[in-house]
Amino acid sequence: MTEPLPLFPTAQAPPSGQVDLTLTVTEERPRLRADAARNRTRLLEVAAELAAERGIGNVTMEAVATAAKVGKGTVFRRFGDRAGLMLALLDHHEQQLQTAFLTGPPPLGPDAPAAERLRAFGPAIIRHERAHRDLYLAAHGDLARHYSSPANHLRLGHLALLLRQLKAPGDIELVAHTLLGYLGTLLADHLLTQRGMSVERLAAGWYDLVERLGAAG
Amino acid sequence: MTEPLPLFPTAQAPPSGQVDLTLTVTEERPRLRADAARNRTRLLEVAAELAAERGIGNVTMEAVATAAKVGKGTVFRRFGDRAGLMLALLDHHEQQLQTAFLTGPPPLGPDAPAAERLRAFGPAIIRHERAHRDLYLAAHGDLARHYSSPANHLRLGHLALLLRQLKAPGDIELVAHTLLGYLGTLLADHLLTQRGMSVERLAAGWYDLVERLGAAG
DNA sequence: ACATTCAACGGACCACGGTCCGCTTGTTCC
DNA sequence: GGAACAAGCGGACCGTGGTCCGTTGAATGT
């Protein structure tokens, strides 16, 4: 229980302006006051800690507030609601994944051919979501928000980019949505745990999907 | 406000054994005591009424209980939780839709060729979900349950059936899931309201999808 | 008719998410 | 340094979903 790492840098990662893709507006956040920023990181640290020791599902907003020695109102002011806190927690892991396919090594990163990257994308997402399963489930409590989340938007843009590079036919944005839908946390989880499918089968399904939807017209 | 129709028959519609598809278990419900059944229908009627007059989002479980002159515990005993009540409400509309594509006229029903039916399926679902938008949103509060719901299972089985008739290649079950994912309430809603797409565009996307995923190997 | 049993009932009770508003404190500008 | 301002803070408060458990009364067998 000693504090090992300086995770959760004070400010949100600055928008790395590269891939814009003109799909949505990247909301700008107005910079926090010093004490607020301090509290923000404390809250995230504490929340992660509590989640680790008792499972994210058993972490109440009040508990987080108390453990971080702030009022409950502060937590809500900062994160909006429970899903917001979860999203913020998730954000950290999400960024790891993002760098993996934005700037990482092949086959995920930009040095591999588009078809390769597209193939690799699916299993990477599924693995990642499995690793942080409960957090994803908790965060997507409000599913409506999910589709507008920066993370999802980024994935979408990435897929659209690859599809365009492949000269895939049809309505690219819709095809990208279809592909992302296949990788959705809840669907994948359902297929794996309820229907007892193997990760390999899901991966094979993905390869097939990509081949049929990504093939040039 | 006069009571117009005898909706919500006392018992759940009996399982019409036809299309089984061996995809899940069809749970059997153990038959209710007379008073319980009476209460069940009263609750559903009252809930529908309240939903109509103040919007489903503003209908609390307690309000339903009070309006139906039963204790709150009774509501929860019957429907499990809020999502359960919503699902039960939805069930009625759902059955209309189901008969439309199980036994109705072409192009949805069994007298049209499989390719036609598959094409028609998408817009039909989207229209239906739009018509009952808020109910769907409220019901899918717990998304995990959604995938196991009988309604979803039926759609899945239907799609799988059509795909098989078309001799579509690949992992049929996964392809069916992909197609259904495209029609998901939340996704469709997001694309229509947030991203401002037209129903026509979604429909066109569906036709394209169906063509590429349903085409014989 | 009566006894037995057990699903169903009611509503007090609890926990948690979320809001509100009067007070405090960092920031900025002179 | 000090004044003016807005952002941040805390925690009492509220509504709602969900649980618990003692009581009631259908169903069923004799």
| All residues at 6 or more sequence positions from B73 whose CB lies less than 8 Å from its CB, including other chains | none
Residue B27, helix vs strand vs coil: coil
- Which residue segments constitute the domains of chain A, with CATH numbers given? 1-15+30-80 (1.10.10.60), 81-214 (1.10.357)
Distances in Å between the alpha carbon of A105 and those of A101, A109, A113, A117, A146? Answer: 8, 5, 12, 10, 28
CA of B81, C1' of D25: distance in angstroms: 25
Condensed to tens digits (0 to 9), the pLDDT of residues A131-170 reads 999 898 888 767 777 888 888 999 999 999 999 999 999 9
The average pLDDT across B191-215 equals 95
Type and span of the H or E element at B59: none
Q: Which of A147, A202, A213 sits opposite B186 (nearest CB)?
A: A147
Spatial separation of the C-alpha atoms in residues B78 and B74, rounded to whole Å = 6
The tokens 């229907």 sit on which residue? A195
CA of A53, C1' of C17: distance in angstroms: 22
Q: Which of B209, B210, B211 to mutate to probe the A interface, most A CBs <10 Å?
A: B209
Helix axes A114-131, A150-165, angle to 10 degrees: 160
pLDDT number for residue B84: 94
Residue B26 burial class via C-beta count within 10 angstroms: exposed 0-12, middle 13-18, buried 19 and up = exposed
CA of A105, C1' of C16: distance in angstroms: 44
Cis peptide, bond prior to residue B9, ω within 30 of zero: no
Task: For strand C, list residues 18-77 of chain A whose Cβ lies within 7 Å of it.
Answer: 33-35, 60-62, 72-73, 76-77
Type and span of the H or E element at A109: none
Q: Which of A140, A171, A189 sits opposite B205 (nearest CB)?
A: A171
Contact B102, B157 (CB under 8 A): no
Condensed to tens digits (0 to 9), the pLDDT of residues A26-70 reads 445 678 899 999 999 999 999 999 999 999 999 999 999 999 999
Q: What would you report as the CA-atom Rg of chain A, rounded to the nearest whole angstrom?
A: 19
Cis peptide, bond prior to residue A107, ω within 30 of zero: yes
Q: Which of B186, B205, B213 sits opposite A144 (nearest CB)?
A: B186
Q: Is the pLDDT of residue B67 over 60?
A: yes
DSSP assignment, residue A193?
A: I
The backbone region for B105, taken as left when phi is positive above 0, alpha when psi lies in -120 to 50, beta otherwise, is: beta
**What confidence category does residue B203 fall into, taking pLDDT thresholds of 50, 70 and 90?**
very high
